[in-house]
Structure 1
Amino acid sequence: MAPMNIFDNTETAFQLKSDSELERAYFLFKMISMEPLVKIGSAVTKFALNVNLPVEGLIRSTVFDHFCGGVNERDCMGTVDRLHDVGVSSVLDFSVEGKEEDAQFDATANKVIELTLLSKNMEAMPFCVFKPTGFGRFKIYQKITENQALTENDKEEWKSIESRYDKVSKTAHASGIRLLIDAEESWMQDAADELCEKMMEKYNVDRPIVFNTLQCYRWDRLEYLKKLHQRAKAKGYKLGFKIVRGAYMEKENDRAIEKGYKSPICESKKATDDNFNEVLAYILNNLDDIELFIGTHNEYSSYLAMELMEQKGISKSDDRVWFGQLFGMSDHISFNLGAIGYNVAKYIPFGPVKDVMPYLIRRAEENTSVAGQTSRELTLLKKEKQRRKL
């Protein structure tokens, strides 16, 4: 049985934080715990950046530096090295969102290729990552998901998106670096899933290189996983999955009400947790066919994964199973897992401050809406501050 208190060790959890960084983290989570403040702060920040008020320095020295690695990959390297020294790997995430132009999509794809080639020579960076809407317009994914008729221009646009996926997947395959593809809103996700499946079929023959993401707050994901598993076995290729709970819950529920369809989201937090844990167990039962990246900030799910691995005789360092958390969050999980020999990676977002703000605002809103997440961070930070005083 996995020890049920390893995540209480704050000395290990915050070993890389200076006293001033610890104070900043405490201040930020205190702010994030106040929902009205997050809503007002998000609106003011968006406005200030849009009208070019000189707020970048302030954002940079507070929320940006806590949750991001820097404005470019060079900025991130010191962090990557420090993490690796204490047994935690890094996934550099070029977190630029909401673009609409082909040139911008090409630039993002080229950036992911650059990062993949960089990772090839660095043990500390075993994965690369991108978002579907980093490579193409949301609307085109939506059109395909909803089976709308495509114009000739649409078809050309989709071909370009597929070509970006293919170029990046091919580079990852040649470099031996695993490629994590994020999931987004349900009304565009089917198109992204189909494209990802195509890449898996092409590049995952010997071992999983291309990983899709399952958002387990969607009640249909376990069924989807099982069907895809059967298809992959029949066609002779492997699967890779990152599993997460999900990041667009309010948006999903609001749209379902507005459009009058059944919400794709589980009916309760407990149902989401159960779904996540079932998906986790299913993949660990089928590790010969499916590799797993467990993206969770949930302690119970982390303990459950450790326990299931132990029961099944899966070694802590088995390269087919990874744990992952976001940079600046849940250090008590990441660093304590890394310290006892599990494979752990931190997702490290980076990019120009203005471009990364949508990501940061989502993180703040998510922390506010997940009951217990922020108060747990605050409790642990407070405990470590007291430990250091003593």
Structure 2
Amino acid sequence: MIRSKIFNDTKSAFKLKSNADLDRAVFLFSMMDRPTLVKIGSAITEFSLKMHLPVEFLIKKTIFEQFCGGVTTEECKPLLKKMYAENLHTILDYSVEGKETEEDFDTSINKKLELIDYASRNREVSFAMFKPTAIGRFEIWEKVTMKEDLSPDEVEEWNKIIKRVEKLCSHAYDKKVRLYADGEETWMQSAADDLMEQMMRKYNKEEVYIINTLQCYRWDRLEYLKELHEKGKKDGFKIGVKIVRGAYMEKENARAKKMGYPSPICESKEATDVNFNGVLSYCLDHLEDISVFIGTHNEVSSYLALQIMEDKGIAMDDERVWFSQLYGMSDNISYNLAKKGYNAVKLVPFGPVRDVVPYLLRRAQENTSVRGQTGRELSLLLEEKKRRKGDKSTRHSRN
């Protein structure tokens, strides 16, 4: 039985953070605990960048350094090595969003191919990833999902997207690097699901190299997983899934209401938790066919996974089970899992400061919408500051 509350160990969680790092994190999470401030700050940041005001240095020294590893892979290297020394692995994500041209998509593909190569050469980096809309226009994914007719130019565009996905997956397979596709909005996701299923059929015959993301705030994801599992057993391929709660709740519900269709999202946070835990349990019950990448900042779900693993006699370092959190968040989960010997990995975004601002603003906004997340982060940071102050006082009294 999992008895000790390992995620309360702030000393291990924040071992790599200096006192200045802690102070910055306390300031940022205090701000993110106030939704109105986040909205105002986001608007000011977007306006300042649009008007080419000199704000990049301020952004880099605050929210960028909290949630990003650096501007380049070379700049990220010292961080990756420090984390790996604590048994914590890395996924590097070139987090440039919102691009629209074919040239941008080709640039993105080349960057992703470089990161697959980087992962194959560096033991600290255990996965590669890509966002479907970073390699093809959202509207094309959407049209294919909705089964709309494509114009000849759009058919050509869709074929280019298929070739890009194939190029990434075949390269990952050749380099023996696990690659996952990020999850996005429901009205484009089916096209991505179908394409990733094709890639699993092709490349997951013996081992899992290709992984798709299931956003479990969608009430249909457990049924989808069961159907995919049956296909895999019937046709001889293994399933790779990254499971997350989801990132587009407000947008999904607003669109469903506006267009008059039932929301694809669970009716409440509690229902989402039940659904996520159901998908998690199903994966751990079928590890002979399914490898699971547990992307969660939720302590209850993480403890549930640990308990199931212990009950089933699944080794802590079983390569079919990984835990993941975002860089700059939930260090109490990541570092304490790594310390105990579980497979733990941080998603570390990087890129030019100006280009990753859309990612950073999305991250700040998501923090305000997840009930209790920001408050939990803040309480842990303050607890660590208090602990360090107590340690310092103890040392002084001994002297």
Which range, TM-score by smaller chain? Answer: over 0.9
Alignment of 1:338-377 (within 5 A): 338-377=338-377
AA partner of residue 273 (structure 1): D
Q: Secondary structure at the match of 1:126?
A: strand
Measured after TM superposition, the shift of residue 235 of structure 1 is 1.2
Alignment of 1:223-372 (within 5 A): 223-372=223-372
Separation in 1, partners of 2:2, 2:178: 28
Separation in 2, partners of 1:74, 1:180: 23
Contact persistence 1:4–1:303 (CA under 8 A): no
Q: Which residue of 2 aligns with 1:176?
A: 176
Separation in 1, partners of 2:115, 2:77: 12
Measured after TM superposition, the shift of residue 123 of structure 1 is 1.4
AA partner of residue 306 (structure 2): M
Separation in 2, partners of 1:50, 1:191: 33
Separation in 1, partners of 2:115, 2:75: 13
Q: Which residue of 2 aligns with 1:98?
A: 98
| Residues 1:35 and 2:42 are matched in the alignment | no
Measured after TM superposition, the shift of residue 4 of structure 1 is 4.4
Measured after TM superposition, the shift of residue 47 of structure 1 is 1.0
Separation in 2, partners of 1:3, 1:185: 38
Separation in 1, partners of 2:343, 2:121: 18
Alignment of 1:214-229 (within 5 A): 214-229=214-229
Separation in 1, partners of 2:357, 2:263: 28
Separation in 2, partners of 1:119, 1:152: 37
Measured after TM superposition, the shift of residue 122 of structure 1 is 1.4
Of residues 59-68 and 357-366 in structure 1, the stretch that sits farther from structure 2 once superposed is 357-366
Q: Which residue of 2 aligns with 1:66?
A: 66
Measured after TM superposition, the shift of residue 3 of structure 1 is 2.8
Q: Secondary structure at the match of 1:183?
A: coil
Q: Secondary structure at the match of 2:90?
A: strand
Q: Which residue of 2 aligns with 1:200?
A: 200
Alignment of 1:73-84 (within 5 A): 73-84=73-84
Coordinate RMSD, CA, aligned: 0.7
Measured after TM superposition, the shift of residue 369 of structure 1 is 1.1
Separation in 2, partners of 1:29, 1:222: 33
Of residues 201-210 and 292-301 in structure 1, the stretch that sits farther from structure 2 once superposed is 201-210
Normalised TM-score (structure 1): 0.99
Separation in 1, partners of 2:352, 2:234: 44
Separation in 2, partners of 1:170, 1:88: 27
Normalised TM-score (structure 2): 0.97
AA partner of residue 381 (structure 2): L
Of residues 195-204 and 14-23 in structure 1, the stretch that sits farther from structure 2 once superposed is 195-204
AA partner of residue 109 (structure 1): I
Question: Where does structure 1 lack aligned partners over 5 or more consecutive residues?
Answer: none
Q: Which residue of 2 aligns with 1:150?
A: 150
Measured after TM superposition, the shift of residue 98 of structure 1 is 1.2
Q: Which residue of 1 aligns with 2:127?
A: 127
Separation in 2, partners of 1:4, 1:108: 44
Q: Which residue of 1 aligns with 2:393?
A: none
Q: Secondary structure at the match of 2:125?
A: coil
Measured after TM superposition, the shift of residue 75 of structure 1 is 1.3
After TM superposition, what 4+ stretches of structure 1 lie above 3 angstroms from structure 2? none
Q: How many residues align?
A: 390
Question: Where does structure 2 lack aligned partners over 5 or more consecutive residues?
Answer: 391-399
Q: Which residue of 2 aligns with 1:167?
A: 167
AA partner of residue 195 (structure 2): L
Separation in 2, partners of 1:60, 1:371: 27
Q: Secondary structure at the match of 2:266?
A: coil
Q: Secondary structure at the match of 2:96?
A: coil
Percent of pairs identical after alignment? 55
Q: Which residue of 2 aligns with 1:139?
A: 139
Q: Which residue of 2 aligns with 1:12?
A: 12
Separation in 2, partners of 1:137, 1:351: 21
Q: Which residue of 1 aligns with 2:110?
A: 110
Separation in 2, partners of 1:28, 1:316: 34
Deviation track 1:180-230 (CA, whole Å, cap 9, x = no partner) reads 110100000001111111111111111110100000000000111111111
Q: Which residue of 2 aligns with 1:210?
A: 210
Separation in 2, partners of 1:49, 1:241: 37
